[in-house]
Structure 1
Amino acid sequence: MTVSIAKDKTRPVFPFTAIVGQEKMKLALILNVIDPKIGGVMIMGDRGTGKSTTIRAIADLLPKIEVVEDDLFNSHVSDYELMSDSVKNKIQKSENISTTFINVPMVDLPLGATEDRVCGTIDIEKALADGIKTFEPGLLAKANRGILYVDEVNLLDDHLVDILLDSAASGWNTVEREGISVRHPARFVLVGSGNPEEGELRPQLLDRFGMHAEIRTVKEPSMRVQIVEQRSKFDSDPYMCLQEFQEQQDNLKSSIIAAQQKLPSVTIDYDLRVKISEVCGILDVDGLRGDIVTNRAAKAYASYQGKDQVDIDDIKEVITLCLRHRLRKDPLETIDSGIKVEQVVENVFSIN
């Protein structure tokens, strides 16, 4: 009995490297982990295609992070951009700061969440009566330096989606109540998933997601059998399954860490940047977000491949994920937006 309770506490997660197929979704998640500034990923697909399983698996794969002990915001001990005001004050006063290592936060945002639950609240009564600014942190505080996952994001209130995207883009969350203001770091990878049958996100909101992966139910019989077998094996003995994939998990973890360290030194030629912008221009992509995200994603992919410089193949690998959701919807258009992006890319990059 004691053994089973101890095992239950660890709550094993399906190993990321054991997931069969859905390569584009997996790549989008890995690249966002390598460079969170890509801006998160929106995953749209049929029910039962492993969206939630894959998202939870990537969080479980990541190495532990060092945080300031007893801090509400998972503050970094030396990076000012990832540090709460109280930690900054301690550093300025040269106070001793103790740290601990925690798993990368994986925060689920429930559909019925209120703005206070997401952003946090200030206890106005205490502030007015005692002059103490008491902040009750929300989900954005818990998600700092981690992953914030919103399942069925297309059913979430637009106002909340706006708040999430603003925080993800700026890396900060500000709560203001009755003239009292609290600001804290909120840098996280925003991952949304949904089923297109339940409605699409507004184009303005969709455009704010860095990448967009569309996944379909696997049709290939042998691959379907492989997926079912893998799942059955995990359900019957999760610890044996985790052991089986431990080496692959460790190798992927090492590759991600190496890519994160290499990323700042990866370069992309001016000519390739021009071609990326040319593709965006031909596709009539509004704004410059598509250009920026494609450049970032190409660098992250090149870094993941161990390269010092981005080449055409790196761009081709990521550009559809970065642009397909930014194309204007034409109800009479018969061609898939992903194929449209690929065709333009082939034309532009084949011209010397």
Structure 2
Amino acid sequence: MSTALHAPRLQFPFCAVQGQAQLQMALLLAAIDPALGGVLIQGPRGTAKSTCARGLAELLPKGEFVELPLGASEEQLIGSLNIETALKHNEVQFKPGLLSRAHQGVLYVDEVNLLPDALVDVLLDVSASGINRIERDGISHQHDARLVLVGTMNPEEGTLRPQLLDRFGLFVDLQANIEPSIRQAIVRARMNFDADPERFQQQHSDTQNRLKEGILRSQTLLAGLLFTDQVYEQVSSICHQANVEGVRADLTLLRASRAHAAWHQREQIASADILAVCELVLAHRRKSNADQNAADPAIQPTQSPDQHQAGLQPQPQQQQEIQNSGPEATGPDSDWGEMPAQVTPISAVKNVKPLPLKK
């Protein structure tokens, strides 16, 4: 039997995904600071949800991509008593679950809205804390589970309860109606990859390596980025204007802004960082009656609609303008294109533009 049959399947490079700049930025932020609480993706089939999640896993230290099946039990997820050891040696021994396997990787949950609420609770708790604690079946155990939680759902099949929806850190809504130029770019990239996966990966290897280095460098910068009074004031004003419940949105917006600043190698968190992540943090938390509020200068973008933002590659400190807020790939096959701004079904944030992409 040919050894090629046992070779690992090559994954589509993260940097080569076309037309999903906002999703890619959300995943990068969650990789830089997993304590953000995961990324929830709403959208139809065929919009690169799993492709992006698998691609992100390859940028992380372990490169582990773990998918939670819909029928999974709580024991499969968190771990359980090792029955074989208990019966043979009369010892209590922990048998790791999927959360242990996903440590330093990506845990992908397709159709998370169809999971039992108890499992979603566990996923969100572990995602935010980075620790899996087990107290059951005579087991008292805990282990690190610092992972990027990625959940997807199709709005046609229902949504999550508001209490669970609010606990997801970032939210991205993907539209099915893709412009012809973007469709062409997506298809070209996919056909090139399918024709010669090794060559396609080699073409994007330099960009992939820069992304890996950028994530690690950003993680080391996080602790040194302090929240100034101006940052607290702007974040609280934006969240108040969005009429969100509680302060989870404030905390998440602060964390996401800090991760964004670290990605761009800034020495301090800028207003541009806050504006760049507003849509990701508030789209699923904003209350509908807040739509009546007049535009608040605190959440107005500082660029015109026809300006584009660059930045899949971490930018130098001096380039702090808001046009450096979105991801951009480089290389022969990296013209991602741009997704048009559209209203999300879950009350999108007003007056905040989604991250466009330089063509």
TM exceeding 0.5: yes
CA shift for structure 1 position 134: 1.5
CA shift for structure 1 position 170: 2.4
| Contact map agreement 1:127 1:133 (CA 8 A) in 2 | yes
- For residues 4 and 136 of structure 2, the distance between their equivalents in structure 1, rounded to whole angstroms, comes to 47
What does residue 143 of structure 1 align with? Answer: 102
| Contact map agreement 1:268 1:311 (CA 8 A) in 2 | no
Question: Which one-letter code corresponds to 1:224 in the other structure?
Answer: R
Instruction: Could you tell me which runs of 5 or more consecutive residues in structure 1 were left unpaired when the two chains were aligned.
Output: 65-102, 347-352
Question: Which one-letter code corresponds to 1:110 in the other structure?
Answer: P
What does residue 130 of structure 2 align with? Answer: 171
Q: Counterpart of 2:95 in 1: which secondary structure?
A: strand
CA shift for structure 1 position 105: 2.1
Superimposed CA distance per residue, residues 172-213 of structure 1 (whole angstroms, 9 cap, x where no aligned partner): 223233444222222211110121111111111111111001
- For residues 126 and 243 of structure 1, the distance between their equivalents in structure 2, rounded to whole angstroms, comes to 46
Aligned with 2:251 (options 263, 270, 292) = 292
Q: Counterpart of 1:61 in 2: which secondary structure?
A: coil
| Contact map agreement 1:45 1:194 (CA 8 A) in 2 | yes
What does residue 34 of structure 1 align with? Answer: 32
Superimposed CA distance per residue, residues 292-330 of structure 1 (whole angstroms, 9 cap, x where no aligned partner): 110111111111111111111111100110111112357
- From the superposition, tell whether residues 129 and 4 of structure 1 become closer, same or farther in structure 2 (CA, over 3 Å): closer
Superposed counterparts of 1:101-112, under 5 Å: 103-112=62-71
Q: Counterpart of 2:58 in 1: which secondary structure?
A: helix
Superimposed CA distance per residue, residues 119-176 of structure 1 (whole angstroms, 9 cap, x where no aligned partner): 1111468558855212111111111222111011111111111111112222222323
Superposed counterparts of 1:227-306, under 5 Å: 227-306=186-265
- For residues 177 and 257 of structure 1, the distance between their equivalents in structure 2, rounded to whole angstroms, comes to 36
Question: Which one-letter code corresponds to 2:45 in the other structure?
Answer: R
- From the superposition, tell whether residues 229 and 177 of structure 1 become closer, same or farther in structure 2 (CA, over 3 Å): same
After alignment, is 174-183 or 131-140 more displaced? 174-183
Superposed counterparts of 1:119-198, under 5 Å: 119-123=78-82, 127=86, 130-198=89-157
State TM-score, norm by structure 2: 0.78
What does residue 349 of structure 2 align with? Answer: 341
CA shift for structure 1 position 338: 7.9
- For residues 202 and 314 of structure 1, the distance between their equivalents in structure 2, rounded to whole angstroms, comes to 29
Aligned with 2:170 (options 195, 211, 214) = 211
The answer to which structure has the higher helix fraction is 1
- From the superposition, tell whether residues 104 and 219 of structure 1 become closer, same or farther in structure 2 (CA, over 3 Å): closer
- For residues 107 and 98 of structure 2, the distance between their equivalents in structure 1, rounded to whole angstroms, comes to 8
| Contact map agreement 1:218 1:224 (CA 8 A) in 2 | no
- For residues 340 and 218 of structure 1, the distance between their equivalents in structure 2, rounded to whole angstroms, comes to 18
- From the superposition, tell whether residues 105 and 52 of structure 1 become closer, same or farther in structure 2 (CA, over 3 Å): same
Superimposed CA distance per residue, residues 258-305 of structure 1 (whole angstroms, 9 cap, x where no aligned partner): 212222212232122112112212222111110011011111111111
Q: Counterpart of 1:314 in 2: which secondary structure?
A: helix
- For residues 303 and 337 of structure 1, the distance between their equivalents in structure 2, rounded to whole angstroms, comes to 31
- From the superposition, tell whether residues 282 and 177 of structure 1 become closer, same or farther in structure 2 (CA, over 3 Å): same
Which structure has the bigger radius of gyration? Answer: 1
Q: Counterpart of 2:273 in 1: which secondary structure?
A: helix
- For residues 215 and 336 of structure 1, the distance between their equivalents in structure 2, rounded to whole angstroms, comes to 8
Q: Counterpart of 2:26 in 1: which secondary structure?
A: helix
- For residues 159 and 146 of structure 2, the distance between their equivalents in structure 1, rounded to whole angstroms, comes to 26
What does residue 9 of structure 2 align with? Answer: 11
Q: Counterpart of 2:280 in 1: which secondary structure?
A: helix
Q: Counterpart of 2:63 in 1: which secondary structure?
A: coil
| Contact map agreement 2:38 2:124 (CA 8 A) in 1 | no
Cα RMSD of the aligned pairs, angstroms, is 2.4
Instruction: Could you tell me which runs of 5 or more consecutive residues in structure 2 were left unpaired when the two chains were aligned.
Output: 293-342, 354-359
Question: Which one-letter code corresponds to 1:248 in the other structure?
Answer: T
| Contact map agreement 1:124 1:178 (CA 8 A) in 2 | no
Superposed counterparts of 1:32-111, under 5 Å: 32-62=30-60, 64=61, 103-111=62-70
What does residue 222 of structure 1 align with? Answer: 181
Identity %: 44
State TM-score, norm by structure 1: 0.79
